[in-house]
């Protein structure tokens, strides 16, 4: 008999996360938002976070609230109101909260690295 390991990548949102997401949803953004992310951290030009209110969620559970997700390559970063908006080739994500301890420092490193790379496609605006 062959054994199979299954990992569930899901996180329940705390009251803090839900409050931040509600605040983020109330803001009027310059363009449509694909989803809201909480507990966000960065690695290799990508953002990882807990997904909420994705516009393409389906009945099979794809893009469901609470799932962990990874964005594609971040092309633009812009602060709109109190929230950062990440733009990829086809999507726009709002950072509702950063991962404790590692999220914000990783984001700052990401901003520094994209600002210093010549010819980098990322464009950062505050």
Pairwise CA distance, residues 120 & 58, whole Å: 34
Tell me, what's the pLDDT at 62? 67
Would you write out the chain's pLDDT as a tens digit for each of its 126 residues? 555 443 444 566 678 888 999 999 999 999 999 999 999 999 988 999 998 877 777 666 666 777 888 999 999 999 999 999 999 999 999 999 999 888 899 999 999 887 755 555 555 554
Pairwise CA distance, residues 86 & 35, whole Å: 10
CA-CA distances (angstroms) from residue 80 to 1, 24, 43, 58, 64? 54, 10, 22, 28, 25
Pairwise CA distance, residues 61 & 72, whole Å: 20
Tell me, what's the pLDDT at 104? 92
Angle at CA 26, nearest 5°, toward 52 and 61?
15
- The pTM for the full model equals 0.79
State pLDDT tens for residues 62-91.
Answer: 667 778 889 999 999 999 999 999 999 999
For the chain, the distance separating the N- and C-terminal CA atoms, rounded to the nearest angstrom, is 56
Q: What is the largest CA-CA distance in the chain?
A: 56
Residues 6+ apart with CB under 8 A from 75: 87, 88, 89, 121, 122, 123
């Amino acid at each position: 008999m062959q054994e199979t390991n299954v990992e569930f990548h899901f996180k329940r949102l705390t009251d803090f996360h839900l409050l931040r997401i509600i605040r983020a949803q109330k803001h009027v953004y310059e363009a449509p938002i694909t989803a809201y992310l909480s507990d966000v951290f960065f690695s290799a030009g990508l953002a990882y976070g807990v997904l909420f209110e994705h516009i393409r969620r389906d009945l099979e559970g794809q893009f469901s609230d609470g799932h962990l997700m990874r964005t594609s390559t971040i092309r633009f970063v812009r602060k709109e109101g109190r929230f950062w908006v990440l733009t990829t080739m086809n999507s726009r994500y709002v950072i509702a909260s950063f991962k404790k301890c590692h999220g914000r420092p990783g984001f700052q490193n990401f901003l520094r690295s994209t600002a210093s790379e010549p010819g980098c496609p990322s464009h950062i605006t505050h």
